Chains A and B, each alone.
Chain A
C-alpha cells in the first residue's frame, strides 16, 4: 500500500515539474499552435465551446495528465495491483500534478493581475502565453480547474494502465505475430531465396541501384540533407576507428575535418592564394595532410589515456579553430571571413558540382571508407587495436607495438575526416571558421556512440539519427534541439549498446547483465 502511494507521489511530483517547466519555456504556446495546425489547419472556429488555442492546449495537457496517471500506476514488485491500488496511485499522481500546476497558475495569474511584468525574469512568460495557460479564467478558477483536470486525466491514465497491463490482448498479439513470422520463414520460397547466393546478389544489386537512382528523384533540399548525412558518416567512420576500435577518446576530431576542408579551399579558390588547382589533385593532398596532422597530434599524446587524452585532443581542436579565426593569418587562411568560390569536381569536362553529383561523390567515398574499415578491422592491425582498447598494458605484453598502432589509428581516422572535409568545402563552395566548432566533434562522437561503438551500420544509423532527424524534426522549430536531446537521453537509456551494435557488444552487454549466466561456483573474475 505505502508503495502505491509512494509511486503516485513520485510520478505526481515529476510530472508537475515537467509541466511547469514546459510552460516556463513557452512550450505550451508552441504545442498549442502546432496542434492547431495539425488538427484544424489553423482554423479559428470554436471547438466544443472552447477557444481553439485553449482547446489545443487542453488536448496536449490531457495526454500529459494521462501519462502521469499511467506512470504513477506502475507495476509494483509484489504484483498486487488491483483496481483499487492502481486508481489510488494514479489518483495521487494526478492530484499532485494538478496541485503543482494549479499552484503555478494561481501564482502567475495573480502576478499578472497585479501588473507584474514577468518577462524580465522568464523571457517566455508573455501575457498572451499566461492568458492561454489560464484558459481564459481568472487565477483562482484556473488553479482549481487544473487540480480537477489533472486528477481526472490521471485517473483515466490509471484505467488505461490497468487495461493495457492485465488485458489478454497483449499476449495474443505477440503470439500471433510470432506465429506469422515463423510461418513466413518456414515458407519454402523464402527459404530458397534466403539460401541462394544469386538471389542475395540480386537483392543487393537492386538496393544499390535504388541508392544510385535516389538522388535523381530527391529534390535539391533532400539531396543536400542526404549529402550532409553522408559527410557525417565519413567523419563517424573515421572517429569510429579512433574511439570505437582503438579506444582513444578524441574530442578534437573536427581539426582534421577543417584541415581537409581548408586544403581544398586554399588550393582551388581564387583568393587568397589564386592557385586554382584541379579538385582531384587536392583530394589526396587533403587526405595526406589530415593524416599527417593526426600523427603530429598523436605523438605527444600517445602516453596519455582516457580523460587526459580527451582534454588534450579537445585543446588541439580549439587551437585549430582559433587559428582559423585569427586576423593575423587572414592573408593565408582567409581569416574570419573564410574562403569563397572553392572549386568543385568535374570529370572529362562535365561538372559534378551539382547537388546530385555530390551525393554520388559522397556515396563513393562512403563505400570506399567502409571497405577500408572492414579490411582493417579484420586484419592484424584490427586485432591490435582491439587489444589496445581493452587493456593497453596487456596488449604490450602480448607483443603488440602499441606505439605504432595508436599512431596508425590516429592517422587513418584523421584521413577519413580529411576526405570528408575536402568534399564538404567543395560542396558548399565556401569554407569559414564557423563550420569547424566543437559541436562538430561532439556530434560525430555522439553519432558513433548512439549508433553503437565499433559497428559500421551503427555509425551510419547514428549519422542519420544525429544529422537527419533534426531535419525531420524541423516542424518543432526552436524546440527541435530540446526534443532531440530528450530523444538521445531516452535512446541511451533504452539501448545502451547503441542502435545497431556489433554482435559482440550485444552479446557482452547481455551476458554481463544476465543474472542467470552460467557462473561456476568460484569467485567471479576479480579486477581485470
Chain B
C-alpha cells in the first residue's frame, strides 16, 4: 500500500475548477515530483493534501487514513510537513525562533533538541546566523531555513513547493543535494517544481500535470527521455 494515495481529487477556487481529478501515489521512502507549467495545478495539489484547500471530490489517504476530514494543523500533526512556495519564513523572527515554530506541536524536548542539532548539521550556515531575523537572510538561506523548519516537525512526508524559485543555479544544486540526503535519512518527499531537469535528476518517479490533470506518469529516468517532456519542459529540441 502506498504511503500517500491521492485519488480523483477535484479542487476549486470559487468557481474555477483548478484540479480536475488528480490521482497520484507516493511510496514510503520515495522522492516523487510533480512537474508542469504555470497554473497547471501543482501548488493546488500540495495545498489540497495539507488541507489549506478543501477538495470538493476525491480522497487523500495517508497510511490508510483519509486526510480530507482533517484541518491543516491536524494533518501537520500526522507527520506531513510543507515547505511553502516563496519559502514563507517568519521575517521578523530569528532563525532559531523560526525553527522553534516548526516544533510548535511537539512536546518531546529531547527529540526537538536532536532535530535542531540535525538541522544545524545539515545547514551550518543557519547555525552561524541563528540570532539574525529571517527577513535579513539571503534567498538561499531562507530556503534552507524553510526546509529546516519543516524538518523540525519531524515529518514522515515532506511536501516541497518550488524550492528552486529565485535561486542561483549553484544554490539550486546544493539545495537539491540536501533534499536527496534528507530523503536518504528516511523522509518521503513530494516535490513540486518548474525546474523539471533538476527535479527529475533526484526523483524516483514523476508526474506531469497540465490544466489540473495528470497527463503522464513514469520513472524519472524515463520521463527525461520522453519526447513530449523534453520539448515542453526541458527546453530540448
Contact = CB atoms under 8 A, between A and B. Distances in A.
B135 A512 contact: yes
A505 B133 CA distance: 10
Contacts of A528: 86-89, 91, 134-135, 142
A511 B77 CA distance: 34
A74 B158 CA distance: 57
Contact of B82 (A397, A401, A519): A397
Interface stretch (A172-180, A385-393, A413-421): A385-393
Interface string A500-528: 00001101100110000111111111111
B104 A523 contact: no
B17 interface: no
A525 B50 contact: no
Contact of B84 (A394, A504, A517): A394
Interface stretch (B22-30, B56-64, B166-174, B221-229): B166-174
B160 to A, nearest CB: 12
B219 interface: no
Interface residues of A, number: 36
Contacts of B167: 522-523
B97 to A, nearest CB: 8
A445 B76 CA distance: 35
Contacts of B133: 504, 507-508, 511-512
Nearest to B82: A397
Contact of B101 (A387, A512, A518, A522): A387
B82 A525 contact: no
A523 B84 contact: no
A140 interface: no
A226 B24 CA distance: 66
Contacts of A517: 136
Contacts of B135: 508, 511-512, 525, 528
B102 interface: yes
Interface string B130-171: 001111111111100000010001000000000001111001
A360 to B, nearest CB: 38
Residue among A383, A394, A507, A525 facing the most chain B CB atoms (10 A cut-off): A525
B51 to A, nearest CB: 8
Interface in B75-106: 76-77, 81-82, 84, 86-93, 100-102, 104-105
Contacts of A300: none
Given A383-B100, A399-B153, A517-B136, 15 more contacts: A383-B104, A387-B104, A390-B93, A397-B50, A397-B52, A397-B82, A398-B76, A401-B73, A518-B132, A522-B167, A522-B168, A525-B87, A525-B91, A526-B86, A528-B91
Interface of A: 380, 383-384, 386-387, 390-391, 393-403, 504-505, 507-508, 511-512, 517-528
Interface of B: 50, 52, 71-73, 76-77, 81-82, 84, 86-93, 100-102, 104-105, 132-142, 149, 153, 165-168, 171
20 contacts: A387-B104, A390-B90, A394-B84, A396-B73, A398-B104, A398-B149, A400-B104, A504-B133, A508-B92, A511-B135, A512-B136, A522-B138, A522-B141, A522-B171, A525-B139, A526-B86, A526-B166, A528-B86, A528-B87, A528-B91
